[in-house]
């Protein structure tokens, strides 16, 4: 009987060894796809964590089924290219993947400014979907990304005015110097602010040395760049957004199109999921960001409805000027604007119905 037991044990061990060898051989047979990633953000920011901890593991699992594996070399915090160089580097193929922030790339994607237009009636969830819809339905809109393949995109949290003094209505902002770009920057310019555009890695030093008086960015951007100790007040809108920050993870178009078709399909199939998931993560991080700011002694101020009316008065002409500016460039500004407003109402109605 013992002899039989020994034979069974030996056979089982042999089987397990064969399984391990087969698995190892299967892993070694995966075809490696080498990619280079470069960005300006610290490696512990939300989008980067999501990419490494959720997106890539999920994609790699699907790729393994068709015999492939991504090998991505990451370069963060402008260690490879400066912020204003990284998108161009991706376009010409010096890097394969990078971040594209709409408010910093208005020359490349002017129609996409509609996504961070203040007081349009959409939030980060609806704006993320509106981005997809406009790309799918208006050819000129989608063509602005023709050099790139979007792996995912998301609208970062609504803009907050982060200052070292209390300022609520437009007249309070006259003469301030603030980091603010694209359409939120135009809004503040109309209120008498001097808007400047800096690399995110310069924000802390500029605020600390009083080179700027404040910054227009979503609240999660404050602890992301450790700004809670160089601003003291966070002015928040009520009932609408003072602008959003659109961010896209992009791949060089030629690089993407040279990937095997089955790999392209897997990346395509994950775009919508990844975009929605990243938006969820941004929203989920709000309480912790607020907590960090409060622990630093900062105050949060919510604008009243009456104060918001003054901002609507400032922003109304900006909407009109933007449409005229786009049309002057032979771009369908009016069409994009009207469709964005229609979609905002569509998604707002859906949200209201879901809450009934």
Average pLDDT in the chain: 90
- What's the pTM? 0.86
pLDDT digits (tens, 9 = 90+) for 260-284: 999 999 999 999 999 999 999 989 9
CA distances from 208 to 163, 202, 226, 295 (A): 12, 10, 11, 18
Angstrom distance (rounded) from CA 89 to CA 79: 13
pLDDT at residue 4 above 70?
A: no
User: Given this model, what pLDDT does residue 356 score?
Assistant: 32
Full set of structural domains in the chain with CATH: 31-109+123-156+246-284 (3.40.190.170), 160-243+287-355 (3.40.190.170)
The answer to whether residues 313 and 87 touch, using CB atoms and an 8 Å cutoff, is no
pLDDT digits (tens, 9 = 90+) for 39-84: 988 888 888 999 999 999 999 999 999 999 999 999 999 999 998 8
User: Given this model, what pLDDT does residue 21 score?
Assistant: 44
State the DSSP code for 69.
E
Q: What is the mean pLDDT of residues 221-239?
A: 95
Q: Which are the contacts of 274, defined by CB distance < 8 A and separation ≥ 6?
A: 50, 55, 151, 152
pLDDT digits (tens, 9 = 90+) for 140-166: 999 999 999 999 999 877 899 999 999
The answer to whether residues 108 and 321 touch, using CB atoms and an 8 Å cutoff, is no
Angstrom distance (rounded) from CA 302 to CA 310: 14
């Amino acid at each position: 009987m013992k002899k039989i037991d020994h034979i069974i044990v030996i056979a089982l061990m042999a089987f397990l060894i064969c399984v391990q060898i087969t698995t190892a051989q299967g892993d070694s047979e995966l075809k490696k796809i080498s990619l280079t990633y470069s960005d300006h953000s610290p490696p512990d920011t939300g989008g980067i964590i999501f990419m490494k901890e959720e997106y890539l593991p999920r994609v790699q699992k699907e790729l393994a089924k068709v015999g492939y594996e991504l090998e991505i070399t990451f370069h963060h915090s402008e260690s490879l290219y400066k912020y204003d160089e990284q998108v161009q580097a991706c376009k010409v193929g010096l890097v394969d993947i990078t971040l594209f922030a709409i408010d910093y790339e208005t020359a490349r994607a002017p129609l996409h400014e509609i996504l961070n237009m203040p007081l349009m009636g959409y939030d980060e969830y609806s704006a993320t979907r509106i981005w997809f819809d406009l790309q799918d339905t208006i050819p000129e809109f989608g063509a602005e990304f023709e050099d790139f393949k979007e792996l995912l995109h998301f609208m970062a949290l609504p803009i907050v005015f982060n200052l070292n003094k209390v300022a609520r209505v437009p007249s309070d902002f006259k003469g301030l110097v603030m980091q603010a770009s694209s359409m939120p920057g135009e809004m503040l310019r109309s209120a008498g602010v001097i808007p400047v555009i800096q690399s995110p890695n310069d924000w802390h030093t500029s605020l600390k040395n009083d080179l700027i008086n404040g910054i227009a960015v979503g609240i999660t951007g404050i602890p992301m760049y450790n700004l809670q100790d160089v601003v003291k007040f966070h002015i928040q809108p009520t009932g609408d957004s003072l602008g959003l920050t659109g961010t896209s993870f992009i791949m060089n178009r030629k690089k993407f199109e040279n990937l095997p078709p089955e790999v392209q399909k897997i990346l395509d199939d994950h775009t919508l999921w990844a975009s929605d998931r990243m938006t969820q993560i941004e929203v989920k991080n709000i309480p912790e960001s607020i907590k960090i700011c409060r622990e630093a002694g900062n105050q949060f101020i919510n604008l009243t409805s009456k104060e918001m009316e003054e901002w609507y008065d400032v922003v109304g002409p900006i909407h009109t000027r933007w449409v005229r500016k786009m049309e002057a460039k032979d771009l369908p500004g009016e069409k994009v604007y009207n469709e964005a407003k229609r979609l905002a109402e569509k998604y707002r109605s859906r949200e209201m119905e879901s809450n009934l």
